[in-house]
Structure 1
Amino acid sequence: MRIAVIGGGISGMLSWYLLQQEHQVTLFEANDYLGGHTATVEVEVAGQSYAIDTGFIVFNDWTYPVFNKFIGELGVEKLDTEMSFSVKNLKQNLEYNGNTFASLFAQKRNILRPSFWRMLADIVRFNKLGKQLVAADHPDLDLKLGEFLQKYKFGKGMRDNYLLPMGAAIWSAGLTEMPSFPVRFFLRFFNNHGLLNLADRPQWAVIKGGSKRYVDALLNKVGTHNLRLSQQISSVVRNEQGVIIHFANGTTEQFDKVVFACHSDQALALLGNNATTDEQTILGAIAYQQNEVVLHTDTRLLPQRRAAWASWNYNLDATERSRATLTYNMNILQRLQAPVTFCVTLNNSTAIATDKILGSYRYAHPVYNMMTMAAQLKRNLINGQNHSYFCGAYWYNGFHEDGARSAVDVAAMFGIQY
């Protein structure tokens, strides 16, 4: 069969890789590069070149089985990394890094601060309770996160200085959105990733030399003759014979099947009036949110105390509340030896010194709420119907593995197991 895959992120790349084993597959990408959120930027400092990841950065040995298998087949080398998390709240004169006992009390006054000890006690109680409720499939998992924290009387310190920033950092969401997160979704993710454990957590890793290395390895393995970059598709029309792709330049191409490996809202826009009622309802219920990403070297966005610097650093002092405001310390994450500290900051560009900015980008992430979870359960109503298949991280937890997993789901519908 002739199959069109629309979208060159992890979902599209893995769909292309798997489906072409038995079919003639063409991958269409709107950007002039392949990779989507796999976006490594080459920068030069003091005569030395560095490859800095600005989108997809980390994965682990517990919950990324498909992606680990994929890069293993491509022969890509990975590096173990540290996944630590800090919070800075200057209004409360508070900062901490939860990685070690020493970094937890990098701000010495935390030792004598009763509110800090209450926060730690609440974290331990939340972890224990979360495990119990997940194991019992408790009805309270159907609450929203804000309702859950209130019902079980968790303190404001734990809520505002730990749990909501942690969730916002993980899902690139806003603090204002987090209280509406479904508890079942939230706790299931935390439990699966070992975040409810004080110890026994997965080993996190990065791609050695930048995440783009696995994209390069893919192209070296499969070639580029069925890859079409900078493709502006205006619409997709299905009929009894198959699929017609209409391009912005007025040309059309016919395929037997189409795989929408783009975001849910993008797929719906391409279908336009040709979308079925189920497609409109299901894809329309899964929204995406834009996040501004800045690569820079301004360490003022990290905690004041170097001992509190972490891989992920949440800044509660930023005025933006509807978007995540955190800074990744790329020297820690990518194990870089450099004369400067490379930082990647979300949604806090006005706080960054302009002479330290190396690049600005925008990436969209799925929004998770009750509507999203309900729509995820109805994927079978549209997947494989009307010669069309839908894959993307939005069907699961929104991460790289989820995009890869959804591509495997689509390949299985064509009889290709992975």
Structure 2
Amino acid sequence: MRRIVIIGAGASGMACAEALKDDPQNTVTIIERTKCCGGMATSEEIDPKRFGASFINDGVQGASPQFSNTYAVFDLLGFKPSEVKMQVSFGRDPEEDFWSNVFPSAVIDKYAKDIKKFGWVLKVIKSAEPLFGLIPVDVMLKMFGFSQGFGDVIVYPLVALFMGTGQQTPYVSSVILERLFLDPSMKLFDYSSDSFLDSIPPMRAFPRLSEVYSTWQTRLTDAGVSIMLETQATAVKRAKDKVTVTIQSVKNANTLREGEILGPETEMEFDEIVFACDADTALTILGTNATVMEKKVLGNVKYLYDVSVTHCDREYMEKYYRLQFDEKLFSEQRKDDPKERGKAEFAKENFKPLYFIRSYPSDKKKIEMSFDLTHYQPQFDSQDNNPNPEHVYQTIFLDKDDSSHLWTEDEINPNNIILKKWWKQQSHRWQHYGFTVPWMMWINSKNRTHYCGAWTVLNMHEIAIASGFAVAYRLGAKYPFKDDDQARRMFALVLGASHGVRMRKEDRKGFFY
């Protein structure tokens, strides 16, 4: 019998346990510090009479249709995502920074030359990925002679919003841009040489995540997996034949660490340990037991602290974003083009952005992002009891240490705040792709220790799921979705990136997957 412990019950830890549970030779234990499974995938109650729905998904909203591992898990658990159309509203000023993927604006005309060049540059980046993996976006834009405004108004806000790179966007690897537009497993948009973003692509809004993860928890425990909630791993000792984990019980673990009540320390012995938690949390638990390589690779992952404010303050939103179509937002140069006019006519009745983003006037490289959850999440579609509910917005203020002096959080009416949460976010700076991602294979599956989580590659729910399956696969488990070509491709990508191996011959159709 092989005893395996997983530290963390987020997407990666649950996926790892899902694959491992089917082998009767495995005894699987999950240790989770908080009182529920799901990690950042949380749901919160709201007032249905006021807002037209009884809950919101909080930390994770939805994803691209290409995220096949995520949707395969949902299907396995009896849940389905809902399709929504991804409309985006960037900036507010018609002449300076407003643009959208719904209709062309003056800003798109202003940067027409940069936009045409951008398609060619994407192909260059794709052809030389290893090189551009180490070149940050701001350096790449200068290399190819793009205007500063194109970076500040178009590129940085787009990447920050959809890749979750926040204030670090100028310093992230240029390869992220290519992935956003060209990678079949990750892309969100089709590039257009005329309008930059070619269409209103479909998105998938997630079902109620608290129910998804509680259902998954039941599925795992019914299969014999032990899930220890409100339990904290504090130390690990690794010997040649075993791993000893020191644990404590934790109360009030869903809040900040102030006020936590810790129980007495106890020790448990295992044969293998899987860290499905933050890199710095893993490093803290390993302590002096960490190897030199683990200290370098895990210690290179940088984390930032953001705060999300869920609110219904429409005045705040209208002050800083464009919520509705206005004729003056439409491109003057294209007003006589029948095709483009058709987009304007569509927008008059159907402009309902899900995503909003703006740059701070005093520092164009730093941004604030918001969501209209009422437009995004499907539970708001049923409004029989309240035909005119207040919209629920979520505004995210990024990077407390470096950017809080720019925040306008105090302008949101306190009476309209529904929920406020702090989040710990991985930075995607170029150093992550130079000194963490390519080196994961040298610490994974060494010393009876394994690592998974979105941070191992890119901060996406899909990466988290695939990385959990990848660790289980290295431990001998079967990959559950090998007949799904799209899911298998993403899994193979993560397996190769984090473990340096291919899928087993019997599981792949080609050389790589």
| TM-score in terms of structure 2 length | 0.73
CA distance in 2, matches of 1:217, 1:388: 28
Residue by residue, what CA displacement relative to the aligned partner does 1:89-134 show, whole Å, maximum 9, x if unpaired? 55x8645352322xx44xxxx3xxxx54122442343134213431
Cα deviation digits, residues 22-63 of structure 1 (max 9, x gap) = 21111111111110110111111426542211111112222x
Q: 1:309 to 1:121 in 2, by over 3 A?
A: farther
Kindly tell me: are residues 138 and 361 of structure 1, through their superposed partners in 2, closer, same or farther at Cα, counting changes over 3 Å?
closer
- Within the alignment, does 1:197 sit opposite 2:258 as a pair? no
Aligned to 2:298: 283
* 1:125 aligned residue: 117
3-state secondary structure, aligned to 1:143:
coil
1:206 aligned onto 2:208? no
Matched position secondary structure for 1:232: strand
| Cα deviation digits, residues 176-218 of structure 1 (max 9, x gap) | x22222212332343220435244786320123x233321331
- Report the residue type matching 2:172 in the other structure: F
Question: What's the counterpart of residue 347 of structure 2?
Answer: none
| Helix, strand or coil at the partner of 1:368 | coil
Q: Which residue of 1 aligns with 2:176?
A: 185
Aligned residue pairs total 404
Tell me if 1:391 matches 2:452: yes
Identity, in percent, stands at 21
Q: 2:176, 2:63 → 1: CA distance? A: 19
Q: Which ranges of structure 1 fall in alignment gaps of 5 or more residues?
A: none
State the partner residue of 1:413: 474
In the alignment, the residues of structure 2 paired with residue 14 and residue 201 of structure 1 have an alpha-carbon distance, to the nearest angstrom, of 31
Aligned-partner Cα distance in 2 for 1:384–1:378: 12
Q: Which shifted more, 394-403 or 239-248?
A: 239-248
Is 1:350–2:350 an aligned residue pair? no
3-state secondary structure, aligned to 1:223? helix
1:268 aligns with 2:289: no
Counterpart contact for 2:374–2:392, Cα < 8 Å: yes
2:369 to 326, 339, 354: 326
Q: For residue 160 of structure 1, what is the aligned residue in structure 2?
A: 152
Matches of 2:303 and 2:86 in 1, distance apart? 26
Q: Kindly tell me: are residues 305 and 369 of structure 1, through their superposed partners in 2, closer, same or farther at Cα, counting changes over 3 Å?
A: closer
1:60 aligns with 2:64: yes
Cα gap change, 1:317/1:183 in structure 2, threshold over 3 Å: closer, same or farther? closer
2:428 maps to what in 1? 368
Partner Cα distance (1:331, 1:227) in 2: 34
Residue 301 (1) aligns with residue 304 (2): no
Spell out, residue by residue over 1:302-324, the C-alpha distance to the aligned partner (whole angstroms, 9 max, x if none).
52442265211112247788875
Structure 1 segments (4+ residues) deviating >6 Å: 318-323
Greater C-alpha radius of gyration: 2
Residue 220 of structure 1: how far off its partner (Å):
3.7
Judge conservation of contact 2:10–2:38 (CA < 8 Å) in 1.
yes
Are residues 1:218 and 2:216 paired?
Answer: yes
* Residue type of the alignment partner of 1:315: R
Deviation digits for residues 242-263 of structure 1 (CA, Å, limit 9, x no counterpart): 1111124221111111100001
TM score, norm. by length of structure 1? 0.89
Q: Counterpart in 2 of 1:341?
A: 391
Counterpart-to-counterpart distance in 1, 2:210 and 2:113: 41
* Structure 1 position 139, deviation (Å): 4.8
* Secondary structure of 2:277 counterpart: coil
SS state at 1:360 partner: strand
The answer for the alignment partner of 2:333 in structure 1 is none
Farther off after superposition, 192-201 or 254-263:
192-201
Q: 1:255 aligns with which of 270, 285, 306?
A: 270
Q: Which residue of 2 aligns with 1:98?
A: 100
Q: Which residue of 2 aligns with 1:312?
A: 355
Give the alignment's Cα RMSD to 1 decimal: 2.5
Moved more, 323-332 or 288-297: 323-332
- Contact map agreement 1:173 1:324 (CA 8 A) in 2: no
Q: Report how far residue 289 of structure 1 moved.
A: 1.5
Moved more, 327-336 or 315-324: 315-324
The 3-state SS of whatever aligns with 2:141 is: helix
